[in-house]
Amino acid sequence: MGGYVKKFRMGYAIALMILLAACGPVTPAPAVSPTQTPLVKPTPSQIPTSGSPVQAAKWPSLHAGWMTFPRPPAIRNAFYDPNGYIWAAGTFPGGLYRWDVATGAVDRYFSAGSQPQYIDSLILWGGKVWVVLNNGEVDSFSGNAWTTETTLPKDDYVFFNTDDRLWVAGAGKLYSYNGNDWKLFDALPGEYRHLSWIARSKDGSLWFSLSSKDYAVKVLRFDGHNWKNYDNLAFARNAITTADGALWFVASDMLVSFDGHNLAPLVLPGNYFSYQVKNSLPLAGGGLWLQTDAGTFTIHGREVTKMDFSGFGTRPADVYDERPLSLTPQGWLFSGGDGAYLYNGASWKKYAFPDSSLISQLVGKVGDRIIGFTPDGALWAWDEDEPVRFDGQRIDASYKFDIDGHSAGVAGSISHIDSDGVLWSAYPNTETLSFGKPGGGKVAQLKLRNPIKDFALAPNGDLWLALGGGYITSLSPKQVEMMGLTDYDWNKVRVGGEQESHVLEPVRIEIGDDGGIWVYVKDIGLYKYIDKHWNYLGANLSDKSAFAIGANGRIWAGSNYNLFGYDGKTWMQYSHNCIFPSHVTIAPDQSVWFINGCDGVYRFDGKDWTHFAKEKELAGIIPTQIMVAPDGALWFFSYSGWARYQP
């Protein structure tokens, strides 16, 4: 097979050379009872125990009102400034960072707007730093001041530079700026899906690599009047104009130069077909630097020189890509997970982001994979497949959730930790429930014959599960500890009662302070199970409805563009502009809080609405869930950052 591929590539290359020379310029399943699969009865050491108590959490530096904790940034893209700086666009929530190469000092800048925005692309052009934001705004930065240059239709944009012009490319749209005027470049023939690169050759022609709607790649040349298609250059994944004016088309195993008149393939010395070009960068004085799987090369004119270079040594752990971004007078510039790096041929120097708070570091570690708070005030979350405990002063990642010495791999999206510190976890629509005390013994796994839809912890410590097939069931951790899994006496309950002729599929389950079990049934509404009786409460909410139970069984539920309240007798509808409640929580003062899919968070006290804006109080954070901490503070969690509010 390898010989065939080699011959094919050689034949392809020879054909290309000949061509260049010739052309010149070229149905629901039946309900199954939730009985368990036979398991070996665990020994006492395998059954989770309460373990030893932990120190109560003490969170320093927290205050009343709003606080936000953005995710530590990662480098989106970076470049070297000949004035002695490294510039990088940061993620979460954005901003521009500048490091002094000599001192390592870092400054952070935001866009021309009042709030940080996500930077799609940045570039150095015309002596200024340019950024395009995810809202279409194009800003330039010079002399420690921002200027909004233009605002384009909202899209995902990327910059290109042909020295004489700055280009901004979006999905099917291309704009150019000559230093005075912005223009829509509508000369491109036909429609295209993606633009890979733009280059300019000595004769002033513009070259474009683009993919069409059917993903076919084309390389086109525009001389200012006419277009010409170069099918034989479609392999080029990059085009570089060097300081000496040569234009190079670079593929994984092919180089072609254009001097303004002729295309000329370049063959590397030795067995050319064993080389794979990984990276190509322009040299300051003209020419190219090539990184291949057989070493590094420099190219000046048509002269190829193999460098005496042993590689980049042991890269730092957060430098994931072995390909440098650019060559600088101080060495190769790399992008790292939490900063930029320079390698001078012998050692690495890191240019780190400003120190972030401990909570922000936790955000970077766990994102929005939150388990919950324990009564001691500690917050638990998932880091990959292992739990992490945070007491406000230390991120403790020493806890394990193991089966026979191996990670249980059960960091499910449904997770709860009870007052005894026992962690319960399951993936929705799977049949395995895992539970154990992190770091305090082995994990036990319970296999059900019905998929788990949701589960919740009751005040008495019992676990209630909503199961596919139309059932709910309870599990007492204390009885499991005494009886073992195989001897456990299941209390399965059919949703709606045994007399119900239809399968009522539960989607959500919550437990009220009166011991009532509230179940949301797909396409039907809410049911309450108490004293072994079912009550139907109506409220045919959407499948993605969010609801919470307040004092005295009062229900608050969100559906579509409405908020509903149930006082035990009657449903009331509370409408407000642009409400799409995706998560509802009851605060200690019984006010209802919900995440609005449009513009932040709302609080409703039964009479008045209070809006907390994404752009203001939440500082750009878009939360996905809300939790109440033991101290009564509300926490808003998202992948990009957390927010905390304490009245």
Q: Which two tokens stand for residue 310?
A: 């042993």
Which of helix, strand or coil describes residue 603? strand
363 & 462 share domain: no
How confident is the model at residue 527, as a pLDDT? 92
Are 402 and 502 contained in the same domain? Answer: yes
> Does 465 share its domain with 392?
yes
| 216 inside domain | no
**502 in any annotated domain:** yes
What pLDDT is stored for residue 114 in this prediction? 46
Whole-number pLDDT of residue 92: 62
> pLDDT band at 66, cuts 50/70/90?
very high
CATH of residue 85 = 2.130.10.10
589: DSSP letter:
T
Query: Are residues 399 and 346 part of one domain?
Result: no
User: Token pair of 181, please?
Assistant: 């005027």
Same-domain status, 406 and 524? yes
pLDDT band (50, 70, 90) for residue 555:
confident
Given this model, what pLDDT does residue 525 score?
85
Question: DSSP string of 116-178?
Answer: ---EEEEEEETTEEEEEETTSEEEEEETTEEEEEEEPPSS--EEEE-SS-EEEE-SS-EEEE-
Nearest CA-CA partner of 358 in 380, 399, 387, 391: 391
Does residue 263 form part of some domain?
A: no
Question: Under DSSP, is residue 578 helix (H, G, I), strand (E, B) or coil?
Answer: coil
- pLDDT given for residue 447 in this prediction: 79
Domain match, 396 and 464 both: yes
pLDDT (tens digit per residue) in 106-156: 988 866 554 556 788 999 999 999 999 888 899 998 887 888 999 999 888
Instruction: Tell me the two tokens of residue 168.
Output: 């901004």
In a domain, 101, yes or no: yes
Same domain for 514 and 572, yes or no, is no
Higher pLDDT: 78 or 191? It is: 78
> Using the 8-state DSSP alphabet, how is residue 72 labeled?
P
Residues 563, 585 within the same domain:
yes
* CA 222 and chain centroid, separation: 39
The secondary structure of residue 483, as a DSSP letter, is: H
Q: Check: CB of residue 72 under 8 Å from CB of residue 356.
A: yes
> Considering the domain boundaries, does residue 581 fall inside one?
yes
pLDDT at 27 over 50: no
The domain in which residue 439 lies consists of 31-57+376-538
* Gap between the Cα atoms of 144 and 96, Å rounded: 12
Contact present, 47 and 63 (Cβ < 8 Å): no
Do 506 and 452 meet the contact criterion of CB atoms below 8 Å apart? no
* Measured distance CA(505)–CA(254) in Å, rounded: 59
Same domain, 399 and 533: yes
Confidence of residue 173 (pLDDT cuts 50, 70, 90): confident
What pLDDT was estimated at residue 486?
Answer: 53
Highest mean pLDDT among 71-75, 220-224, 483-487, 615-619: 220-224
Residue 112 and residue 35 in one domain: no
The reply to whether 534 and 577 lie within a common domain is no
| Same domain flag for 526 and 622 | no
- Which DSSP category does 36 fall into? B
pLDDT band at residue 445 using 50, 70 and 90 as cut-offs? confident
**65-70 sheet: strands from edge to edge:** 65-70, 641-646, 634-638, 625-628
Domains: count for the chain: 3
Q: Is residue 67 a part of any domain in this protein?
A: yes
Identify which of 618, 619, 620 has the alpha carbon closest to the alpha carbon of residue 636. Answer: 618
Tell whether 532 is covered by a domain. yes
d(CA 257, CA 497): 78
Q: What is the side-by-side strand order in the sheet with 471-475?
A: 414-417, 423-426, 430-436, 444-457, 463-467, 471-475, 491-494
pLDDT computed for residue 253 by the predictor? 74
Please provide the DSSP assignment of 277-321 as one string.
EEEEEE-TTSSEEEEETTEEEEEETTEEEE-------S--TT---
460 part of a folded domain? yes
Backbone φ and ψ of 553, nearest 5°: 75, 15
**Count of CB atoms situated within 10 Å of the CB of 218:** 17
Strands 444-457 and 463-467: antiparallel
**Predicted local distance difference test score (pLDDT) of residue 187:** 83
User: 538, 563, 597 — which closes off a domain?
Assistant: 538
What pLDDT digit, counting tens, does each position of 321-364 carry? 889 999 999 999 998 877 899 999 889 999 988 877 889 889 98
Over the chain, what is the mean pLDDT? 80
